[in-house]
Amino acid sequence: MNVEQRNRRRFLKRGAGLAGLAVAAIRSANGQTTETSTKDLRPYGERSRFEKLARALVAPNGAASQTPLQDSMGIITPSSLHFVVTRYRNNPPDIDPAQHRLMIHGMVDRPLIYSVEEIKRLPSVSRIHFLECGGNSSPRLRRNAQTVQQTHGWTSCSEWTGVQLSLLLKEAGVQKGGDWLVAEGADAGKQTKSFPMSKAMDDALVVYGQNGEAIRPDQGYPLRLLLPGWEGVANIKWLRRIKVVDQPYLTKTEITAYTQPRPGLKGKALWFDFAMGVKSVITRPSGGQTLPGPGFYEITGLAWSGQGTIRRVEISTDGGRTWKDAQLQDPIHRIAHTRFRLPWHWNGEEAMLLSRSTDDIGNVQPTLADLAKTWGTTPGFFQTAFPEHFNPIQPWKVNSDRSVRDALFS
C-alpha cells in the first residue's frame, strides 16, 4: 500500500512534471483549437477497449450466462452483465414494443389489454431488487467451477421501474375465489408460472425499466413480471398474459424442474417454495484469484435475502472460530444486494474466509452441515443432487501459495 516514490521517475517521464501546472494552463488553450473531432462523442456511449469484464457462458440445462461477481462494485449490476438463465437455447425474442400487449383476464370483472405505452402512463415505482436463479450456487454448477462467477454468478441487482401489479388487478377487478395467477411470456417456449394473489397484491411489479433505461431483451424486453425475492424463473420475461385463476395451474416447468426434493420428506418435494433465503458470498478475495502477497486486503462481498432486508454480515478469516461484523453499505435496500466490507491484514499463512448474513426477520445463513440437517440429509447428498435455494455459508480457502480455492465440500 505504501508505494511511495518508487514509480516516481517513470511517472515524471510520462507526465508534465512537478512544475507543470502553469504549463498545463497554457497548453489547454492550444488544445482547444487544434483538436476538432467530435466523431466519437457517441450518442450511446461504450466502455473502454481495455475493459474485458464479461458474463461466463454455462449451459447445464439450457443456455445461461453468469455475472462476474469477482469484479462487482457497489450494489448495481450493469445491465450488460446481468445473468441470464433460459431453458431454451435460443436468442431472446425480438419484440417490437409498439406491437406488444399485456392481457389481464380470467377471474376478473373487466379483462384488460394494455400496450406498453399505456403501461408507461400509469403511476410508476422504481425499486432496487436482486434477481437470483433458484439454482444459483448449487453443487452441480461447481463441477468445474473455480471462481465466484461460476459458483454464485446467477444473481444480479438492478433498479427496476414499472407499475405495481396490484394496480392493474384493481383496474381489472379480481373476482371472489381468484386466489392465484398464471403469468405467461411471449418466448417460443411460452414460459408460465403460477403464483398466489397475496404476492401479486403485496410487492409484485410489471417492469419496463432497468437501471434507468428499457429492460434488456435477455431480461424480458419490453415487459417483465418482477416478484421481488422469488426465484428467478417465477419472474416471467416478455410478459404478455396474466390470468387470474382459482388454484395453481401446475404447468410443466413447475412440476418438473423447479420443485425441491427433500430427503427428509421421503420421496416428496416442496412445491411453490418461491422466496430465496438469506445468503452472502465474499466476492474478493474469492476462488481462482491469487493474492499478490501478505499485507492489507479489503474483504468485500454481497449479501441478500428474498424475505427482507440485510441487517448484519459477519466475517471469519479462521474458518468460523472467530467472527467480526462487516460494514454494510448505506442505504440498505429491501430484497437487494447489500455490499459489505471488512479490512483484513493477511499474514501469508493459510486462512479460511467465510461470510454469514442475517436478515431483518431473523433468518441466519446456515453452514453446509446445518443446511443438510434442515433438509433431513447429510452434506454428501448435495453433491449428488441439484439442490435449489442452496444458501450455505461459502468458504474460500487462502493457501500459503497465495491461491484462493472453493472449500465448500473440502
Cα distance between residue 191 and residue 185, in whole Å? 5
Nearer to a copy of itself, 25 or 349 (CB): 25
Answer for which of 129, 199, 243, 389 binds a copy of itself (CB under 8 A) is: 243
Residue 241 near a copy of itself by CB under 8 A = yes
Question: What residues numbered 17-76 form the site for a copy of itself, per CB under 8 A?
Answer: 18, 20-21, 23-29, 31-32, 35-51, 53-57, 59, 62-65, 71-76
Build a one-symbol-per-residue string for 338-367: x at contacts with a copy of itself by CB under 8 A, - elsewhere: -x-x-x------------------------
Answer for which of 82, 199, 237, 279 binds a copy of itself (CB under 8 A) is: 82
Helices (H), 203-283: 252-255
Answer for which of 137, 251, 287, 360 binds a copy of itself (CB under 8 A) is: 251
Coil/strand/helix, residue 180: strand
Answer for which of 224, 240, 279, 311 binds a copy of itself (CB under 8 A) is: 240
C-alpha gyration radius of the chain: 24
Q: Indicate the burial class of 35 (C-beta count within 10 angstroms; 0-12, 13-18, 19 or more).
A: exposed
Residue 268 has, within 13 A of its CA and on its CB side, a CA count of: 6
Give the rounded distance of the alpha carbon of 376 from its chain centre. Answer: 28
Nearer to a copy of itself, 23 or 269 (CB): 23
Coil/strand/helix, residue 359: strand
Residue 410 near a copy of itself by CB under 8 A = no
Residue 78 near a copy of itself by CB under 8 A = yes
First to last CA, the chain: 33
Cα distance between residue 210 and residue 150, in whole Å? 24
Residue 170 near a copy of itself by CB under 8 A = no
> Cβ of 308: how many Cβ atoms within 10 Å?
18
CB 136 within 8 A of CB 142: no
Nearer to a copy of itself, 262 or 284 (CB): 284
Nearer to a copy of itself, 346 or 390 (CB): 346
- Torsion 150-151-154-156 (CA) sign: negative
| Closest to 60 in 3D by CA, of 185, 145, 187 | 145
How big is the site for a copy of itself, counted in residues (CB under 8 A)? 134
Answer for which of 132, 203, 218, 231 binds a copy of itself (CB under 8 A) is: 218
Name the one range near a copy of itself by CB under 8 A: 83-91, 347-355, 359-367, 376-384.
83-91
Nearer to a copy of itself, 251 or 259 (CB): 251
Nine-digit cell string for 204:
409484485
Return the residue matching grid coordinates 502553469: 22
- Torsion 22-25-28-30 (CA) sign: negative
C-alpha distances out from residue 303 to 6, 83, 309, 315, Å: 38, 17, 10, 12
| Closest separation in Å from C-beta 25 to a copy of itself | 4
| Closest separation in Å from C-beta 158 to a copy of itself | 9
Residue 99 near a copy of itself by CB under 8 A = yes
| Closest separation in Å from C-beta 122 to a copy of itself | 7
Answer for which of 142, 216, 373, 405 binds a copy of itself (CB under 8 A) is: 216
| Closest separation in Å from C-beta 169 to a copy of itself | 14
Question: What residues numbered 2-21 form the site for a copy of itself, per CB under 8 A?
Answer: 2-8, 10-11, 14-16, 18, 20-21
Answer for which of 60, 125, 269, 374 binds a copy of itself (CB under 8 A) is: 125
Kindly report the backbone phi and psi dihedral angles of residue 209, in degrees, each rounded to the nearest multiple of 5, phi listed first: -120, 145
